[in-house]
Amino acid sequence: MGWYVSGTVIVSLFIVAAFAIFFPRFFVRALFRPMLAVVYRKRIVGLENLPRQGGYLIVSNHVSWIDGIVILWMMPRNVRFVVDGTNFGSGFAKWLAAAFDTILMVSNPKSIARALKSAREALSDGDVVGIFPEGTITRTGQLQAFKPGMSKILKGNDAPVVPVYLDGMWGSIFSFSGGKFFFKWPDKFRRRLTLYIGKPFPNETPIELVRSQVHQLNARAQVDHRNEFPILAGSVIRSWRHRGRKLQIADSMGTELGGREALTRALALRRVLRREVFAKDEINVGIFLPPSAGAVIANVALALDRRVSANLNYTVSAAVVNHCIDEIGIKHVLTSERFLSKVGIEINSNVVTLESVRDKITSVDKGVAFLQANLVPAFILRFILGLHRIKSDDLLTVIFTSGSTGMPKGVMLSQANISHNVDAIKKAIRLNDHDVVLGVLPFFHSFGYSVTLWATQVLGPCGVYHFNPLDARQVGKLAEKYGATVILGTPTFIRGYIRRIPPEQFSKLDTCIVGAEKMPADLFQAFEDRFGVRPVEGYGTTELSPLVSVNVPPSRSPAKFQPDRIEGSVGRPLPGVCAKVVSQESGDEMCAGQDGMLLISGPNVMAGYANQKDLTEKAIQSGWYSTGDIANIDDQGFIHITGRLSRFSKIGGEMVPHIKVEEEISKSIGSANSGGDDEGEIMACVTAVPDSKKGERLIVLHRPMDKDIEQILSDLKDAGLPNLFIPARDAFYEVDEIPLLGTGKLDLKGAKDLATKLTS
């Protein structure tokens, strides 16, 4: 009997060996398919897009070491990948590569030429060839620039290009998430992998447009999987509990809260508001508070109670505030007596002051909140609070636009909108427990709400808040006292810090991110010279939750050999966000470096404008939000904003950019559009008024200047501006101050109204 068993084993091994030698592809597939099926769940979207016959080139993103194996597992036909041969040096690796007719190359001209020739011949023979055109595994989770090898492979044949995107590998041990490969715990077990297959494109399609198609599949994947983004109310419970007694929130009024104390207060506030203030069916609640510990607690308490917060702008008129309240049916507004008396705005709604609410918190409220914050298991607490009922598309907040061009619109942002932005900030900026974020942006500003409120409170840093971003002296004191490492602001605010803050107060600072308006070139160097930190630019809009793109700060970059910052750009789109530039006339996508209208898609696109369906449909078409910004995307994938559609005038049939004229005027007066002794003062702005002959004419509003207007006009001519771009001598009007919004941005409507008044 023993000889029979031994013989059976020998025969079985012989058969297995024969299969491995003579049918390696079938053998390897039979070996790896069940292994992969145990570890991963697969899904394929767009399988019908694959050509039924003939050769074609698969172009994929590259996130992990095993992307090729996973794609082979999912594809119906064998894919002959062109890969770096240095990764297949062992005998087993060479056998594995040979099993799938992999095309190996090393970094020398002859090997590369042979590999390209083999790939071209394979396409001509009707094989499927695959490449990872980024040339290396992404270190940031963002799609990198595509190398030119794709064009060389396609040369001389008519094989189509099929874009694919493999979603789900970022976070695995084979990806660079967390700053390293392999030696880490994966963030998910039996993760779901989805292969998105796009429609084939002609092989003469420019590389950057093929890259755009892969990027669009990425955005689609993130939208499809938006329910996987965590509910922020649950995330803040976990974060604040983890923080324990360590400082979590501080503000300029002297409040200091540890993580668990902050959670206790938020839970107690939730209890008393439910009992004493809100009706059960009341959803939208206004918050009229500056950035402070109280504002953080109020926003979190509303999120824990599954209500929608609307942080109201306290720098506008009472008429605008009450318009916003009426627009979304706010019945109660949370504020403080001290702050309300200071701003002097009469609110046409039920005002609930935090001081009055504090008096109604009972000992029972405090005891229950303490137990919930410290002893009840987190998953049970989430169930008690009903957080398991929250869906990804449920609203988290309504943020009103700045109103720079008219009455503010209510932008409805969902749980997934804000949660995606928080997740993207985690990947791009890598905030951690050791960071201290200086929160000077108001929460009615979408950047302040998403980043300095939610991202800061969820991702681990301590948040330090101050109500006036122009109060440079107090900002400096807070930075020094708490050791601020991260600050976010606008160029207007940054210029004031350079003037007023001693370098030692920013000694711990290592990251400065600016947005909301174009960063003047001189500010990068001026800030670095004073504080030793070079700022980076980001870009976003309220309708996009808000962050779209950012240059990764040098101190935060995990990529040594992959560019993730180009000064003068606003960065690459964040993971999951896709940008494209289209012609304003035809709607066709533009090639690299060509200006057009900037469109954005992804899970950060708003749910819509409150009660304004027509405006929503105009702004969002087929999932793409039209930003109104004129931009181009370079061949590395970085976005360059070149103008704002609303900041162009059509004069004599030609589009004249206000920003370009402003920049040249700023250079002429030697202040890069800012100057004087006051913090953040803008010296000049360009707007336009109607003109009977040419449609519009430029108007320059300016503060008192030392330079003669005739000399400024001469400088504009010397700068090479076309005559149409140069304002007339009588178009310059001196004003006491340039109209600004509370965020420091130019008030476009206010400037236009002032120009109209001055010229009438």
DSSP-based three-state secondary structure for 62? coil
Contact 449, 421 (CB under 8 A): no
What was the pLDDT predicted at 677? 44
- Alpha helices by DSSP H, 244-362: 259-276, 293-304, 318-327, 337-343, 354-360
Q: 425: which 2 tokens?
A: 């900030």
Peptide bond into 558 cis (omega under 30): no
Contact 69, 172 (CB under 8 A): no
What was the pLDDT predicted at 221? 93
Alpha carbon distances (Å) from 455 to 237, 423, 438, 450, 582:
13, 8, 12, 6, 32
Domain boundaries, the chain: 1-37, 40-224, 232-640, 652-759
Does residue 405 surpass a pLDDT of 70? no
What was the pLDDT predicted at 29? 60
Measured on CA atoms in the order 602, 603, 608, 613, is the torsion positive or negative? positive
Domain 232-640 in CATH 3.40.50.12780? The answer is: yes
What was the pLDDT predicted at 16? 38
Candidate from 30-39, 165-174, 540-549 with smallest mean pLDDT: 30-39
Q: For residue 548, how far is the Cα from the chain centroid?
A: 4
Per-residue pLDDT tens digits for 251-281: 999 999 999 999 999 999 999 999 999 998 8
Kindly indicate the confidence band of residue 95, based on its pLDDT and cuts at 50, 70 and 90: low
Highest mean pLDDT among 108-122, 618-632, 702-716: 618-632
- Rounded CA-CA distance 262/373 in Å is 9
Candidate from 69-73, 362-366, 625-629, 673-677 with smallest mean pLDDT: 673-677
- Rounded CA-CA distance 325/310 in Å is 9
Kindly indicate the confidence band of residue 13, based on its pLDDT and cuts at 50, 70 and 90: very low
Does residue 110 surpass a pLDDT of 90? no
Per-residue pLDDT tens digits for 447-475: 899 999 999 999 999 999 999 888 899 99
The residue that leads in pLDDT, 742 or 407, is 407
* Domain 652-759: homologous superfamily in CATH: ANL, C-terminal domain (3.30.300.30)
| Dihedral of the alpha carbons of 557, 561, 565, 567, in degrees to the nearest 10 | 130
Q: 581: which 2 tokens?
A: 């530039």
What was the pLDDT predicted at 672? 37
List the beta bridge partners of residue 650: 655
Going through 347-458 in order, the beta strands assigned E by DSSP cover: 350-353, 395-400, 410-414, 436-439
- Rounded CA-CA distance 738/742 in Å is 13
Kindly indicate the confidence band of residue 744, based on its pLDDT and cuts at 50, 70 and 90: low
Does residue 330 surpass a pLDDT of 90? yes
DSSP-based three-state secondary structure for 674? coil
Does residue 5 surpass a pLDDT of 50? no
Contact 244, 262 (CB under 8 A): no
- Of residues 510, 508, 488, the one with CA closest to residue 555: 510
Contact 477, 505 (CB under 8 A): yes
Print the SS3 string covering 128-162.
EEEECCCCCCCCCCCCCCCCCHHHHHHCCCCCCEE
- Rounded CA-CA distance 688/701 in Å is 10
Domain 40-224 in CATH 3.40.50.10490? The answer is: no
Which residues make Cβ contacts (< 8 Å) with residue 633, sequence separation at least 6?
208, 579, 580, 581, 592, 593, 639, 640
Does residue 490 surpass a pLDDT of 50? yes
Residue 645: how many CA atoms within 13 Å on its side-chain side? 12
Per-residue pLDDT tens digits for 507-557: 999 999 998 777 878 888 899 999 999 999 999 989 999 999 999 988 888
DSSP state of 727: P
Does residue 497 surpass a pLDDT of 70? yes
DSSP state of 746: B
List the beta bridge partners of residue 690: 696
